[in-house]
Structure 1
Amino acid sequence: MTSLPNKKFSFTTDSDEERSSKSPYIVGVCGGSGSGKTSVCKEIIKKLHNKRVSLLSQDWFYRTLNEKELENVSEHDWDDPSALDQDLLYETLKKVKQGVTVTCPKYDFCNNRPSTTEFSIVEGDVILFEGIHIFHTKELRDLIDIKVFVDVDDDIRLGRRIIRDTKERGRTAESIINQYFKFVKPGFDNFVSPTKKFADIILLRGSSNKVAISLLVQQIKAEIDNRNSSYFNNIKKQFLVEKFTLPKFDKILN
């Protein structure tokens, strides 16, 4: 196990032979704060009940704030892509794409640092990768197999954010609304909304759009089944070649 400096993220270091040659199918779920990305992922997981599915959240990759930033944390712009450790995010997703098990902590937004709760992203059929900035860089986009943008009305997203942050992060409605108009909405308009053009699928109304989610899941299942079929066909071909290929002789005996 190799640990990364100043972070509790780690990657397994199995040999190439020990790693599966199957790459997981990466589903990117993007959208503004409060659009229901996590709810969409939960619906997909329910419908993929017979597949091995893991969730990887961009929210786990926020930078640890320095002392100066902590002193004025209410003015910290969490909605700017620079708030994330983009290099670590890319390296982690790349490892996941290669079938490497990744261990990472959940970010503690109450204390503004990585928490002691860790998640392991293991080899599987599907990785659901969700976050507001996951389409921001070409490097990340190129690792994603299918890109979904959850498109929900601004007022609905704000209402959901107020409910979530008062309940889960101990904040007041006033502070949430102030942050929304100072950072969240400009961040969405400047950084998140423009990445909608990179989406393969735009999911209107989020997790309430059951028909669209069912169609998306059908596409995911078809891709997984196709990959599994190709994978096992290659194994079968390799087995037949190894089993039935006659040995070669340097000389022919008369």
Structure 2
Amino acid sequence: MSSLPNRKYYFTTESDDEEGSIKESPYIVGVCGGSGSGKTSVCREIIKKLPNKRVSLLSQDWFYKTLTEKDLENVGEYDWDKPDALDLDLLSKTLEKIKEGSAVTCPKYDFCNNKPSTTEFATVEGDVILFEGIHIFNTPELRDLIDIKVFVDVDDDIRLGRRILRDTKERGRTVESIINQYFKFVKPGFDNYVVPVRKYADIILLRGSSNKVAIELLVQQIKNEIECRNKNEFNNFKNKYFVEKFTGPKIEKIFN
């Protein structure tokens, strides 16, 4: 087990490869969209439709930076919607490790105390990784690691309503503070940083998780990709193991 740089609570676990084995690279599905667009709900729908696959969720929200004492003095004025609020370098390194086939254990982010949790963790590994967040398409490094990019497109009013319900229930905030933050930071952040990367999406998912037809088509694409990869991996293994391990020695014995 080794720790990733810059954050002591992040760990990677790499299994010892047996001779002739091939380390599998998971299929990474990037789910982007504005705050309250229903990215997590879309991911849940995908997970429900892939019961026989190993599927994990990787959330960009786990990579928010720990606030400084100066930030904490006026936390209500902190801009959570700018890309600089995230440790994008650590996020890229983590996704690279996952792409290599390693299991990564990440702390979730404690939004009540504005720092990574020391008690809640998630281990990310599997055949399919659902990678969600508002800024996951913002850098070439992240985009290059994503196999298929999905943008969840939902009306602004719906997103604001969902944000109010979530933050009052889960983060103990007042409706007034949520609305003030929305118009001061969330909406400008969406217009400046999220809308411009919509063009990188392979799929635009209108209406979010309520668009059952689009989600079904996306799930079928994921299944097809996994089946194709499994066939390729078996053929690679067969060629590597049976040809090198059996054919080679037999030929040597014949000619010696």
TM-score clears 0.5:
yes
Aligned to 1:10: 11
Aligned to 1:25: 27
Choose which of 26, 29, 39 in structure 2 pairs with 1:37.
39
Aligned to 1:164: 166
The letter of the residue matching 2:252 is K
Distance 2:214 2:8 in 1: 38
- SS state at 2:252 partner: coil
Distance 1:16 1:87 in 2: 28
Which residues in structure 2 correspond to 1:1-254 (within 5 Å)?
Answer: 1-3=1-3, 4-15=5-16, 17=18, 20-115=22-117, 116-122=119-125, 124-241=126-243, 242-245=245-248, 246-248=250-252
Compared CA separation, residues 104 and 46, structure 1 to 2 (3 A): same
The letter of the residue matching 1:33 is S
The letter of the residue matching 2:63 is F
- SS state at 1:248 partner: helix
Check whether the contact 2:22–2:233 (CA below 8 A) recurs between aligned residues: no
Q: Which stretches in structure 2 are left out of the alignment for 5+ residues?
A: none
- SS state at 1:99 partner: coil
Structure 1's consecutive aligned runs of 4 or more residues displaced over 4 angstroms after TM superposition are 13-20
- SS state at 1:148 partner: strand
Check whether the contact 1:135–1:195 (CA below 8 A) recurs between aligned residues: yes
Check whether the contact 2:62–2:106 (CA below 8 A) recurs between aligned residues: yes
TM-score (norm 1): 0.94
Distance 2:241 2:59 in 1: 39
Distance 1:94 1:218 in 2: 25
How many equivalent residue pairs?
251
Check whether the contact 1:136–1:191 (CA below 8 A) recurs between aligned residues: yes
Distance 2:195 2:217 in 1: 24
Q: CA RMSD in A?
A: 1.7
Check whether the contact 1:29–1:149 (CA below 8 A) recurs between aligned residues: yes
TM-score (norm 2): 0.94
Tell me the CA shift for residue 247 of structure 1.
4.3
Distance 1:131 1:5 in 2: 20
